[in-house]
Every structure is written in C-alpha cells, then in structure tokens.
Structure 1
Amino acid sequence: MKRHQIILDILNKEKYLEVLDLCKLLDVSAVTIRKDLKLLEEKGLLYRTHGGASLENPYINEKAVNEKEKISVEEKNGIAQAAANLIDENDSILIASGTTVQALAKYIIPKNKLTVITSSLHVVLHLINHKNIEVLQLGGYIRHSSASVVGNYASQILDNVSCSKLFLGVDGIDLEYGLSTTSLEEAQLNKKMIASAQKSIVLADSSKFGKKSFAKICGIEKIDQIITDVGISKSIVKRLEENGIVVSIVG
C-alpha cells in the first residue's frame, strides 16, 4: 500500500513519528493510522509506541558503561562540549551518571572556582587533578554497570545542598512516559538531584528519543533544557518546545 510506504519513508528520515502528525500529513483518521502501524509492526518494519511509531525498539535493556562509551561517540562529545560552555564562573553544579555526562567532565575548564557534586566515579577521576575544582563524591553502593553510586547515603547528602545546574544523562526519553533509566535506585537518586538543582539540563544523543526503560525518573515537564544532536526528529523538537523546554542541537 502506498500509504504504508510513505510512513516507512518518513520514519527512515525522522526515526520517530507521532500518530497525529501522520493523520495531518496523510489526511486520514487516527484509527486508520493505528491500523497501518499495527500491520507494519506485525511485518517487523517498525515498533509502535504510545502515540506513535519508532524505527528502533523503544524498550531498553541495560548495558555496561564500557559498552555505552562506544556508541554515538562523536555526538556525545559534541553534546558534552556544548554543556561545558554553560558552566559559569564560581559555579556549583551536579553531574549525574552516564557516558554523555561522563564526557562532559573531559571538557570542563573551570572559570575561577567550581564545585562539582557527582554520583559518577568516572567524573571524579576526570576532575580530581583540577586544583580549583572542589569535588563532592556522593557515597553509597556502587552500581557496576554505570560505575556510579546509588542509595540512601547519596540521597541524604542531597537534602543539604543546592546547585545552579544539574547535568543529567538518561537511557530513554518518551514524550508521554518521560525520562527513564534501567535502575530504580538510580532513578530515585536522579529525582533527588532534580530537586536540588535550580535548572535541570539533560544530555542525550538523538538515539535516546522515543525510548523508555524500566525506571521512570520524571515527566518531561520537570526538565528545563535538553542538549542533543542533529538526528533528533523535528516533531519531537516541536513537542518539547511546546512544553517550554529549551532544545539545543549540536553538530
């Protein structure tokens, strides 16, 4: 069917599509589009998501940090450099776990003094030799897959601090479900980090959009800014901006 081919052609370019956008484009009802997507999914040509369709499986399995480091390396470095430019003189920031925020640590050039609070062991190792960066390593149990701490000890420290910015890495961003990660404990710690920061900035390459994982961190309305790469779908950018989120695209 010609309509099916049009859907697949657009999806190959956009990576993610919403039912409502397809309705307008093809001038058919939502019921018709959902039937089309169901048939295409049964043929193994796409994955249906809540309110749309994705070219990739939207459900994420946990991967070790050394595996993730090899994925979208160029995009992550570009995002990390853009994020580093947002750090102000004498700033106090939070850095969560994940390979993109880990890359951020490589590009931090402190303006005078900088205070960094982080759950990531790799971030600490990158920053430890900067004499004018004061590092507060959160304590707790170590998650081997992410090389980061989780648990009540880390959360209790966050009850007593306030930072200007949080740089947050995630495993998935779904417009309806929100931000998610593979670990429930890490999701809980990320929530505490969001509460401790005046501004929450998500660092996520475009492959993270239209995906979801086991543990929800928060809805997209809790986020102030997302830094990503040129692979992000235009329809997703539009939806994010409609929710008051600043979308910064690098590359």
Structure 2
Amino acid sequence: MSRDARWQALLELLVERGRLEVEEAATTLGVSVATIRRDFDQLAEQQMLVRTRGGAVAHGVSYELPLRYKTARQASEKQRIAKAVADLVSPGEVVGLTGGTTTTEVARALSLHPELSSGTPALTIVTNALNIANELAVRPQFKIVVTGGVARPQSYELIGPLADGVLSQISLDVAVLGVGAFDATHGTTAHDEGEAGINRLLCERAERVVVAADSTKLGQRAFARICATDQVDVLVTDTGIAEETAARFREAGVEVVAV
C-alpha cells in the first residue's frame, strides 16, 4: 500500500471513529506499528489530526478531509450523480459550480455531455474552484469565469471579499452546490464558513439551485449554513437515500432525483 493510500485510509478511519490507536490502525491496514507511528507524526505536522499517546484523534466533529484524500469515497455514486446533474443543464446556460469531489465529477460530466460539445459557448462556467477551472479551461466550447479570492488548500476553493466582488456582478441560470451536509430542516451546510459564504452568493445569483450530494451527507449538519432548504430546487443523490429522508425533502418542496 502506498503512503498516499495509507494516509487516505487512516484519515477516513479517523472521520468514522474519531480516535485510532497505533496497534489498531496497523492491524487494520496490515502494516507495521512503526509505519503507523511515522504516518501519524507526519499527518500531525500537517495539522490533519491530533497526536495522542498511543494513537491519534480527529480535530473535532466538523473535521474535514482535504479534497485530495476524498476523491475515492463514494466514487461510483458521485459519477452517477454527476451524469444526472449534467442532464439537467441546457446548452448556452450560465452554470455556477462550487468546489468539492462531487462537483468536480459534475464538471467532468459536463465536458463529456454530447449536447455540450460545441457552441459559442456551449456553456459559461462560473466557479471558485481552482481544480475545476484547470480541468475545464482546455475545453474550447466552455467559457470559464473564475471568481478570484484567497485559495483554501483543503478544497482548492477561492474565498473572501475578492470572490464576493465578482459574484455580485453576475447572474446564473443554475448553481450546482457541493455540500458538507444537507438536512430538510436545517438546510445546506459546509465545514468552512468562508466556503459557505461563497456558496450562498452563488445560490442568490441563480435562477435554479441544484444540490449534488451522495446519500451519506443527507440528514446531517456541518458547521456553516449555506442556504435554507426552500432555496433548493433539485437534490440529485444516489439510491442509498432513505425513503423517509426523501419524503421530508419532497415535503419541503425539493425535487429528489436518486440515481
């Protein structure tokens, strides 16, 4: 197992359990205790966990994995969600994309969509995510608008007043939100208040708001609120969504698409 794969596995175990002992992690991953101790020390240096005597703990209940360590989680579900979201977009529209692993898959699905392969432009994409802008900038059929702002390394998203200034001057046909959590009562939320603020502005500037989220994020809350449930038009998720959860969203006026 490579170091990156070990680190991803360790961080995901920490998110699930909150605490890991060195011996427990070594047994689970099939590596030596010395390797796990070294991994914990290096991850602690990067402030991705808190080292304890004999193990490590996550930073807290709102702990957030950096984007590069989240790409493999719920991968097939996210790809299906992304394709379904791309089908909701019409040629010529202006589309806002927040950062995150699911919206990154949406960007890829848009670039491969047969109805969006040509045009002047086929789509205008507005994003605060550096990785999404980088992937789509080579697609000549897309006009890419990047918000500006200060880069947040965990998610590659630009945040702050510079991003606010751009978003206040534009209008969107549809905003596609990647969220930390979405609950029918509490609305959409993110782990970081700066990201939540930019996502909120995207919602306010859009005619339609689409939340792209796998079922593990539903019925949950994260730290910072993005928008209320009644501001969301469509939730695109996977078939793992519980029927009672889907019913609550529908009762709140949200169209639920499960793929």
Shorter-normalised TM-score: what interval? 0.7 to 0.9
- The TM-score normalised by the length of structure 1 is 0.74
Is 1:137 equivalent to 2:146 in the alignment? yes
- Which residue, out of 64, 86, 96, partners 1:62? 64
Deviation at 1:209, TM superposition (A): 1.0
2:161 aligned partner: 152
Is 1:184 equivalent to 2:186 in the alignment? no
Note the alpha carbon deviations across 1:195-219, whole angstroms, 9 max, x for none: 1100000000000012111111122
Deviation at 1:60, TM superposition (A): 3.8
Deviation at 1:85, TM superposition (A): 1.1
1:90 aligned partner: 92
Aligned length: 192
Deviation at 1:133, TM superposition (A): 0.6
Q: Please state whether the residue corresponding to 2:77 is helix, strand or coil.
A: helix
Q: Please state whether the residue corresponding to 1:139 is helix, strand or coil.
A: coil
Q: How does 1:16-165 map to 2 (within 5 A)?
A: 59-108=61-110, 109=113, 110=116, 111-112=118-119, 113=121, 114-165=123-174
Asked if 1 retains the 8 angstrom alpha-carbon contact of 2:203 and 2:227, the reply is no
1:92 and 1:139 map into 2 onto residues whose CA distance is: 18
Note the alpha carbon deviations across 1:100-152, whole angstroms, 9 max, x for none: 00111111132522110001111112211111210001101000000110011
- The TM-score normalised by the length of structure 2 is 0.72
Equivalent position amino acid for 1:68 in 2? K
Q: Please state whether the residue corresponding to 2:245 is helix, strand or coil.
A: helix
Asked if 2 retains the 8 angstrom alpha-carbon contact of 1:117 and 1:135, the reply is yes
Is 1:226 equivalent to 2:235 in the alignment? yes
Q: Please state whether the residue corresponding to 1:221 is helix, strand or coil.
A: helix
Deviation at 1:176, TM superposition (A): 2.1
Note the alpha carbon deviations across 1:189-244, whole angstroms, 9 max, x for none: 11110011000000000000121111111221111100000000100111111111
2:49 aligned partner: none
- Which residue, out of 203, 208, 212, partners 1:203? 212
Equivalent position amino acid for 2:94 in 1? S
Is 1:171 equivalent to 2:180 in the alignment? yes
Asked if 2 retains the 8 angstrom alpha-carbon contact of 1:60 and 1:172, the reply is no
1:214 aligned partner: 223
2:39 aligned partner: none
2:125 and 2:138 map into 1 onto residues whose CA distance is: 13
Note the alpha carbon deviations across 1:84-106, whole angstroms, 9 max, x for none: 11111111110111110011111
Higher relative CO (Cα under 8 Å, sequence separation at least 6) belongs to 1
2:221 and 2:132 map into 1 onto residues whose CA distance is: 25
1:242 aligned partner: 251
2:227 and 2:175 map into 1 onto residues whose CA distance is: 14
2:183 and 2:253 map into 1 onto residues whose CA distance is: 16
Deviation at 1:175, TM superposition (A): 2.3
- Structure 2 regions of 5+ residues with no counterpart? 1-60
Identity percentage of aligned residues: 29
2:90 and 2:166 map into 1 onto residues whose CA distance is: 23
- Structure 1 regions of 5+ residues with no counterpart? 1-58
